[in-house]
Chains A and B, each alone.
Chain A
Amino acid sequence: DAGVIQSPRHEVTEMGQEVTLRCKPISGHDYLFWYRQTMMRGLELLIYFNNNVPIDDSGMPEDRFSAKMPNASFSTLKIQPSEPRDSAVYFCASSIDRGHPGELFFGEGSRLTVL
């Protein structure tokens, strides 16, 4: 079975440009998470969805960040406009609802560099 699929794997862009990161969760998983990883702040939860509905977006840094999950098999994380401090690895993860958070299956990540 395919795991969580993220694209692009690497993105280099200039400050002010729009960035869209994509994620396809594992089929049948109820939860989808977006995490950001940096050396300074570690793994930060940005937002998570349950059955395509955003549950908690309190980790989204600011209005420049937005996330959508139009259906069970696709989610996007958009940054507009991008800034150098957004440079990080962005991970998407999915899990099954077991009454409490089940194990997370992470994608390979999207490494974003904003110049």
Chain B
Amino acid sequence: GQQVMQIPQYQHVQEGEDFTTYCNSSTTLSNIQWYKQRPGGHPVFLIQLVKSGEVKKQKRLTFQFGEAKKNSSLHITATQTTDVGTYFCAGDGGSQGNLIFGKGTKLSVKP
């Protein structure tokens, strides 16, 4: 079945450093979504990318969707302690309505 791989599994950074997480799918995706889960919380939607090569920004966060629509990345510039949490990508599973989540990248930020 379809797999969504995410790396790295963990990332420890000093506050102010940049952070990037990468997502790769075994199949072409129609769209990809990104979520953030704070410790002890639930996943919260960040953004959805639909077009090949699409780039979207939300303040310090930059999201990219690969040209082949099989990979994506999330880049955070100048991390802050409020960025702490686990970032998940999720791609459609080939059937409408089915979203497959990556294992997530857990970000810790040292003040």
Interface residues of A (CB under 8 A from B): 31, 33, 35, 42-43, 45, 48, 50, 55-56, 91, 93, 97, 99-109
Query: Which B residues touch A109, using CB under 8 A?
Result: 42
Query: Which B residues touch A91, using CB under 8 A?
Result: 42-43
In the complex, the number of residue pairs spanning A and B with C-beta atoms less than 8 Å apart equals 62
Interface residues of B (CB under 8 A from A): 30-31, 33, 35, 41-45, 48, 50, 88, 90, 92-93, 95-104
Q: How many angstroms between the C-alpha atoms of A35 and B104 in the bound complex?
A: 15
Query: A43, A55, A105 — which one has the most chain B CB atoms within 10 A of its CB?
Result: A43
Which secondary structure dominates where chain A touches chain B? strand
Asked whether, in the complex, the Cβ of B98 is within 8 Å of the Cβ of A48, the reply is yes
| Known contacts A50-B97, A55-B97, A101-B98; A43 and B43 CB within 8 A of each other | yes
Query: Which B residues touch A101, using CB under 8 A?
Result: 31, 33, 92, 96-99
Q: How far is the CB of B44 from chain A (nearest CB, A)?
A: 7
Q: How many angstroms between the C-alpha atoms of A35 and B93 in the bound complex?
A: 14
